[in-house]
Amino acid sequence: MQYEATIGLETHVMQKTNTKMFCACKYEYGAEPNTHVCPVCLGYPGALPVMNEKAIELCCKAGLLLGCEINPYSKWDRKNYFYPDMAKNYQITQADQPLCLGGQLTVDVDGEMKTFTIERIHQEENAAKNTHVAGASLVDYNRAGTALMEIVSNPCMHSAEDALAYMTAVKQIMQYGGISNCDQEKGQMRSDVNVSVRPVGQKELGAKVEIKNMNSFAFIKEAIEYEIDRQTALLESGGTVDQETRGYDPDRGETFTQRTKENAHDYRYFPEPDLMPVKIPAEQIEQWRSELPELPAQRRVRYVQELGLPEYDAGVLTADMATSDWFEQAMRHTKNAKAVSNFIMGEMMRLLSEQNCSISESNVTPEKLAGIVALIDAKTISTGAGKQVFEIIFNDGGDPKAIVEERGMAQVSDDSALEGWADEAIANNPKPVEEYKAGNPASINFLMGQVMKASRGKANPGAVMQMLKQKLDR
């Protein structure tokens, strides 16, 4: 029998707000634990929540960017549970009336365009951060109550590759949209992954296994692959899959049972009595729509159509917003998009990964790269010398023109110097000269190499070739 997997994702994204969702406490990653807290986010009895308007705006903009309908009326609910990461013993969330409904995302999965659908996006508050040390658990409430939204996909994916492509696209859109930095190492983007397996042709989905709270894309991929294999093997051997919550152990590369799945009614959802429902007028939604930025997919089309870049380049440049913005800044100082793109995809990415830093920290600024490209385009330096200048600036800083002058890197196009080297190469190498004259055009390359060597790489190759041809064809 053939089996197929079905995957749905619940992606939690921490929004870029200055203060928490229902109180005025600041959110600051890495701050001294339990210093950004107040009676509201510590759950003191009688403390009243106040809604963060900016968070609502960001959640709705995220919805618009993902093609959702904005719900004109949404409301708040309490999700009750007992755990130290939520001091008031319930989380304020949205159960039956979320801010955003529907939505879809079309992404490239290994060369095939696929559309994945989104069920809803709701606004909620984050839990505190627990750290488990030997013999104790520590709780940092700085994160408790920060603005968190949950993007719930439909169970519409069928492989780890689908899930990865979807999450990568969501992350890009959130970053471009200014919704969230989605810094996974800081826990700003975490996903719960639902995986089930059923025989091909069966209508209803198989028992759902949820793998909770993962932030690494690589681990998510491994966990999905492991889970599909595990469930398929169980079914093939005549067993059944239990509906449960599992964790993923990256060291062993396997998932393990955490708890049998609680149902929604275990949380005893009920309307939050301390907050008014959210009503959003149509004009407000249109105002937000008009403020939406250009998305990576739109930038890719523009790079190809207006700047004439290959699709591949456009994809690499827009994969990350910082790189794409950097590229756009460079394009304010030059018209040669392909040269800028080549430098970013080549020298820049190589050096950044070698030194493990980000493009915004590079000594080579967009303006400096445009300066290097201008020197190459003016034939002042060769492309090879341009790469050297790039690396010098990357490592030690400096100005392209000044470096070329100080180090004598300018190409020699001066006829008398070139002529001297050409004559010498012809006089010293009678054999290739003879071969060339006998009708073997490739032999000129050897002579060319001799001239470049004599000039220590500074001769302008085009001018050398022309000079040699003139002399030999005479």
Q: Which residues form the interface with Zn ion (CB under 5 A)?
A: 23, 25, 38, 40-41
- Phi, psi (rounded to 5 degrees) for 100: -125, 140
Residue (144 or 193) nearer to Zn ion, CB:
144
Please report how close the Cβ of residue 223 comes to Zn ion at its closest, in angstroms: 34
Closest CA to 471 of 432, 380, 411, 379: 432
User: Which residue lies nearer to Zn ion by CB, 38 or 207?
Assistant: 38
Q: How far is CA 379 from the centre of its chain?
A: 36
Q: Which is nearer to Zn ion, 139 or 403 (CB)?
A: 139
Q: Which is nearer to Zn ion, 147 or 359 (CB)?
A: 147
Q: What minimum distance in Å lies between the beta carbon of 53 and Zn ion?
A: 16
Would you say 25 or 464 has its CB closer to Zn ion? 25
Return the number of the residue (87 or 99) whose C-beta is nearest Zn ion: 87
Beta bridge partners of 278: 74
Q: Tell me how far apart the alpha carbons of residues 347 and 55 are, in angstroms, rounded to a whole number.
A: 39
Question: Rounded to the nearest whole angstrom, what is the least distance from the CB of residue 20 to Zn ion in the complex?
Answer: 5
Nearest distance from residue 88's CB to Zn ion, in Å? 11
| Beta carbon of residue 84, minimum distance to Zn ion (angstroms, whole number) | 17
Q: What tokens appear for 209 in the block? A: 């296994």
**Minimum CB distance to Zn ion, residue 49 (Å):** 9
The one-letter code for the residue type at 63 is G
Distance of CA 8 to CAs 12, 34, 168, 229, 277, Å? 13, 34, 15, 17, 28
Residue placing its CB nearer to Zn ion in the complex, 40 or 317: 40
CA angle 126-128-132, nearest 5°? 140
CB of 40 to Zn ion, least distance (A): 5
Give the closest residue to 171 by CA, choosing from 191, 155, 157.
191
**Smallest distance, Zn ion to C-beta of residue 165, A:** 37
Task: Decide whether 87 or 464 has the Cβ nearer to Zn ion.
Answer: 87
Q: Which is nearer to Zn ion, 55 or 156 (CB)?
A: 55
Shortest Å distance, C-beta 137 to Zn ion? 21
Of the pair 27, 116, the CB lying nearest Zn ion is at 27
Q: Whole-number minimum distance, CB 143 to Zn ion, in Å?
A: 11
Place of tokens 């959130």: 174
